[in-house]
């Protein structure tokens, strides 16, 4: 796998947290940043996928009306 250097300006407190984690885990700072960025990219891809699935449900009419949701939510406060 090829690598490419990416430069980013980050807040000092975040950089210090990365330094601390790198020391605690005995890993290079680049490894910490790579792990974090990989996780974020995967999370955003999943969020996009779920959004598109939700929009497809709306387009297909698979929705629950507001009154039904409100009634269900109110029922959660009822005993037994």
List the pLDDT tens digit at each of the 80 positions of the chain. Answer: 899 999 999 999 999 999 999 999 999 999 999 999 999 999 999 999 999 999 999 999 999 999 999 999 999 998 86
| Whether the Cβ atoms of residue 28 and residue 22 lie closer than 8 Å to each other | yes
Instruction: Please tell me the pTM assigned to this model.
Output: 0.75
Q: Where are the domains of the chain?
A: 12-74
For residue 1, what pLDDT is reported? 86
* Measured CA angle at 25 (ends 23, 30), to 5 deg: 75
What does the CA dihedral 12, 14, 15, 18 come to, rounded to 10 degrees?
Answer: 160
- The reported pLDDT for the residue numbered 79 is 84
**Rounded distance, CA 73 to CA 80, Å?**
14
């Amino acid at each position: 796998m090829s690598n490419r250097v990416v430069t980013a300006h980050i807040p000092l407190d975040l950089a210090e947290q990365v330094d601390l984690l790198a020391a605690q885990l005995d890993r290079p700072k680049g490894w910490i940043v790579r792990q974090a960025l990989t996780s974020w990219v995967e999370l955003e891809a999943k969020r996009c996928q779920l959004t598109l699935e939700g929009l497809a449900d709306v387009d297909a009419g698979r929705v629950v009306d507001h009154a039904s949701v409100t009634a269900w939510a109110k029922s959660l406060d009822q005993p037994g």
